[in-house]
Every structure is written in structure tokens, then in C-alpha cells.
């Protein structure tokens, strides 16, 4: 551990940037007595690399401290020096030497069409090494498998209808436990925090979608700084207004994440609602399919006989916004299959919180059917 006097001398030393000294300090604090330093493989499958970029945006600790003192960052196509067979060789090397120890992080959906040829990560013996094969092979031998970002965790945008690549979540192609750290992109705090938990304390507590409850334990709506506007019925009527975004389509009531507290980027300076835009539910298993249209609220659907309260309206929002998506979804709604998070939103509140009366699902379904019949 770096001593405070030494730290001061580093800070005072001319020519050395303060951030560098801070990084050294953070680094040594991070390392502390925690000697573990597991190899981490970060596979980008069908991804936009947004989660890699977001990971690089981590502030405390910064990327340098993370790779120096928390993990042994072996493979990530965005930053690694090696390429070609040399890069693919890293994967094989880790598999041979660190089976059961390394952490596999997967970013992106895993396409399954044409035997996985819709995403090729490299080659082996001159043959395409598909993401599908890599995730299965490296996933089975990993100490932990982490699906980072909503694509890897739940399918995300690329697996949305009509899912041209046959994209699946990591869990759908891997017969073992996968820790899901969703977000589009993932917040650096969520993934770096999950990694620290894995390295220091082992597997974190997970919710029913295998998301760490540490980050995904409460709805955005319940943590929102603008909750009082909602309770007072003061709603923005368009993006850009500084009030509750609920009627502009905010999915905060059915979205489980700590965005209002954590916020985004470096100094945690902003997040969608603070920027006068709706939450689009990007950490949800249903994103984007069931959280679209993003700006749609559909307040004209009435539920006779139901007293409105916050939790109920949340559930209603999630369901009703699904209406606008198209016939393939409407059919599933008519069949009574509601988006998964809506069901959570309808579940009784946790002990310790005010228990509110929930909305009967059937009432919603009936009213949606009625609405659809009128439309056609």
C-alpha cells in the first residue's frame, strides 16, 4: 500500500500528472490485501462495443487501475495488442492453463443462424471460430460467466423482431449459471462493481434474472429525483421539460436499476430523466421489444374501477406501451403473456416498503383486447 507521505511526494513531484498519482494510489488501495488477480476474457460477439467503451469510462478506479490491480485483462478485442491467431491463441492458452479460474465476460448477442457464422471471432486451423462455439467452449470452463450489457444478458436490440441473426442471450446458449449485468450500455459502476465482488467476495446476490441486486434491486421510479412530481401529478408533455417523464413514455416504474443514484459518466453527472428524457428501460429483459415505443404513454386507455397509484400506473405503462409495437406482440398480449418486468412490477412490494394494492392483470388484458378490436 502506498504511504500518504509518498503519495504527497508523488503529487508534489513536478511533471507528474495528479491523475496519474491518484491512479497509483487507487491502484494500491485496490490491490490491498486482495492478492487475487483472476484472468479475465472479454468476448465481443454481435455487439456495438458500447459496453467496452462504457467500461473504459470507469472513473474510480480508472481502466489503468482496473487492469493493474483488480483483474488480469487477457482478452478484449477493443484494447488488446495481439490480433489474428496470436489473439485467438490467448483464448486457447487461458482455457488450457486457467480452467475453473478465469472470468468470462461476454458482450453482445450470440447469433445462431447458419451454425453461428453470423459472428466469427477468429479462426482455428483455418476454420471460422464462431462466437457460438467460443461462448460455449470458454463458458463451460470458466470460473464465472458474466453477460455484460443487455444484448448478452437478454438479447437486446439485435434479438428484437424479426431477429435476423437468430441472436440469443448467453444464458440461452450456455447450460450453466450466467451472471447478468445488463444495460444498454452497462454502467461502468455495474460491471466494475460486479467484477470487484466476484474477485473479493465471490458471487453477489442475484435476482430472478441473475442480476446483482446490489445494482438492480429497486425500480428507477422509486429512486427517482422527480418522484414528487409524479405524486403531485406534474407531468412533462414533451421531451425537454423538467418534470416527471412518465407521460412522455418513461419506463422507470417497471425498470430495476439505480440510475437515479449512480448516474452516468465519470463524475456521475447525468442520466436520462435528469436530461428531461424518458427512461427507456434498457436494463430490462424486454428491452427494446416491450419497452417500445419509447415515447408512448397511451393515457387514453382507461381502467374502470381501479384507483390509480404509483405502482399500478407503472405496471400499466409497461403493458400498454407494448401495444404500439405490432401484431406479433399484440398476439402475445392477447394470449395473456405479459412482459416479464411488468409481472415483477405487479408483484407485492418488498417487506419494509409500503404495500400497495396491485392491478389485476386480466383487467389490463381485457382492456387491451377491447382497444385492439376497436382498432381493427
> Which of 10, 101, 140, 157 contacts other proteins by CB under 8 A?
157
Beta-sheet pairing, 167-168 with 110-111: antiparallel
> Which of 191, 257, 264, 330 contacts other proteins by CB under 8 A?
264
Q: Please give the residues from 37 up to 76 whose contact with other proteins meets the rule CB under 8 A.
A: 39, 44-54, 56-59, 62-64, 67-68, 72-76
Interface with other proteins includes 165 (CB under 8 A)?
yes
DSSP symbol at 72: E
Q: Which is nearer to other proteins, 131 or 145 (CB)?
A: 131
Closest distance between other proteins and the C-beta of residue 332, in Å? 15
**CA atoms of 151 and 113, how far apart (whole Å):** 16
Closest distance between other proteins and the C-beta of residue 10, in Å? 14
Closest distance between other proteins and the C-beta of residue 357, in Å? 32
Closest distance between other proteins and the C-beta of residue 267, in Å? 6
Comparing CA positions, the residue from 262, 246, 134 lying closest to residue 186 is 262
Closest distance between other proteins and the C-beta of residue 363, in Å? 25
Q: Is the CB of residue 46 less than 8 Å from the CB of residue 167?
A: yes
**CA atoms of 37 and 69, how far apart (whole Å):** 7
Interface with other proteins includes 367 (CB under 8 A)?
no
Q: Please give the residues from 172 up to 191 whose contact with other proteins meets the rule CB under 8 A.
A: 184-185
Closest distance between other proteins and the C-beta of residue 216, in Å? 17
Scanning the structure block, which residue is given the C-alpha cell 450456455?
174
Region of 84 please: left (phi>0), alpha (psi -120 to 50) or beta. left
Helix (H, G, I), strand (E, B) or coil at 277: coil
Closest distance between other proteins and the C-beta of residue 304, in Å? 27
Closest distance between other proteins and the C-beta of residue 194, in Å? 19
Interface with other proteins includes 235 (CB under 8 A)?
no
> Which of 9, 12, 32, 161 contacts other proteins by CB under 8 A?
161
Q: Is the CB of residue 315 less than 8 Å from the CB of residue 345?
A: yes
Q: Which is nearer to other proteins, 274 or 343 (CB)?
A: 274
Span interacting with other proteins, options 263-271, 302-310, 333-341, 342-350, rule CB under 8 A: 263-271
Question: For residue 267, what is its C-alpha cell?
Answer: 463524475
Distances (CA, A) of 347 to 231, 257, 302: 20, 17, 21
Helix (H, G, I), strand (E, B) or coil at 240: coil
Interface with other proteins includes 167 (CB under 8 A)?
yes
> Which of 238, 305, 350, 373 contacts other proteins by CB under 8 A?
238
Closest distance between other proteins and the C-beta of residue 215, in Å? 15
Q: Please give the residues from 303 up to 362 whose contact with other proteins meets the rule CB under 8 A.
A: 324-326
> Which of 275, 347, 355, 356 contacts other proteins by CB under 8 A?
275
**CA atoms of 376 and 371, how far apart (whole Å):** 9
Comparing CA positions, the residue from 48, 17, 37 lying closest to residue 103 is 37
Interface with other proteins includes 270 (CB under 8 A)?
yes
> Which of 1, 29, 82, 308 contacts other proteins by CB under 8 A?
82
**CA atoms of 344 and 208, how far apart (whole Å):** 10
**CA atoms of 60 and 322, how far apart (whole Å):** 38
Q: Count the residues of the shown chain that bind other proteins, applying the rule CB under 8 A.
A: 98
Q: Is the CB of residue 197 less than 8 Å from the CB of residue 207?
A: no
Comparing CA positions, the residue from 87, 95, 89, 88 lying closest to residue 39 is 95
**CA atoms of 241 and 186, how far apart (whole Å):** 26
Interface with other proteins includes 96 (CB under 8 A)?
no
Interface with other proteins includes 31 (CB under 8 A)?
no
Span interacting with other proteins, options 169-177, 195-203, 275-283, 350-358, rule CB under 8 A: 275-283
Q: Please give the residues from 286 up to 305 whose contact with other proteins meets the rule CB under 8 A.
A: 288, 292-296
Question: For residue 186, what is its C-alpha cell?
Answer: 452497462
Amino acid at each position: 500500500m502506498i504511504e500518504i507521505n509518498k503519495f504527497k511526494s508523488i503529487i508534489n513531484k513536478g511533471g507528474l500528472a495528479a491523475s496519474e498519482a491518484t491512479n497509483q494510489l487507487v491502484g494500491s488501495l485496490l490491490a490491498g490485501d486482495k492478492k487475487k488477480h483472476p484472468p479475465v476474457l472479454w468476448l465481443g460477439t454481435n455487439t456495438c462495443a458500447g459496453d467496452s467503451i462504457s467500461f473504459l469510462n470507469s472513473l474510480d478506479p480508472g481502466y489503468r487501475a482496473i487492469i493493474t490491480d483488480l483483474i488480469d485483462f487477457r482478452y478484449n478485442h477493443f484494447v488488446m495488442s495481439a490480433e489474428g491467431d496470436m489473439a485467438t491463441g490467448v483464448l486457447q492458452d487461458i482455457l488450457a492453463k486457467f480452467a475453473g479460474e478465469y472470468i468470462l465476460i461476454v458482450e453482445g448477442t450470440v447469433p445462431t443462424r447458419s451454425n453461428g457464422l453470423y459472428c466469427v471471432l477468429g479462426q482455428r486451423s483455418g476454420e471460422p471460430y464462431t462466437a457460438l462455439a467460443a461462448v460455449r467452449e470458454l463458458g463451460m470452463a470458466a470460473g464465472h460467466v458474466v453477460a455484460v450489457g443487455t444484448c448478452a444478458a437478454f438479447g437486446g436490440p439485435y434479438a428484437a423482431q424479426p431477429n435476423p441473426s437468430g441472436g440469443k442471450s448467453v444464458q440461452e446458449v450456455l447450460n450453466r449459471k450466467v451472471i447478468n449485468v445488463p444495460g444498454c450500455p452497462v454502467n461502468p459502476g455495474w460491471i466494475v462493481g460486479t467484477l470487484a465482488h466476484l474477485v473479493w467476495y465471490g458471487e453477489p446476490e442475484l435476482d430472478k434474472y441473475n442480476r446483482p441486486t446490489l445494482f438492480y434491486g429497486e425500480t428507477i421510479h422509486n429512486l427517482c429525483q422527480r418522484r414528487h412530481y409524479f405524486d403531485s401529478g406534474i407531468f412533462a408533455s414533451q421531451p425537454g421539460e423538467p418534470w416527471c417523464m412518465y407521460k412522455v413514455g418513461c419506463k422507470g416504474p417497471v425498470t430495476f436499476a439505480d440510475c437515479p443514484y449512480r448516474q452516468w459518466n465519470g463524475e456521475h453527472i447525468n442520466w436520462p430523466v435528469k436530461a428531461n428524457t424518458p427512461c427507456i428501460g434498457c436494463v430490462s429483459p424486454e428491452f427494446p421489444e416491450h419497452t417500445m415505443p419509447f415515447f408512448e404513454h397511451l393515457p387514453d386507455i382507461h381502467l374502470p374501477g381501479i384507483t390509480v397509484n404509483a405502482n399500478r400506473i407503472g405496471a400499466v405503462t409497461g403493458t400498454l406501451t407494448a401495444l404500439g409495437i405490432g401484431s406479433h406482440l399484440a398476439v402475445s398480449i392477447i394470449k395473456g403473456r405479459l412482459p416479464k418486468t411488468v409481472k415483477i412490477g405487479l408483484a407485492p412490494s418488498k417487506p419494509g416498503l409500503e404495500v400497495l394494492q396491485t392491478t389485476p392483470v386480466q383487467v389490463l388484458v381485457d382492456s387491451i383486447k377491447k382497444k385492439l378490436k376497436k382498432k381493427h
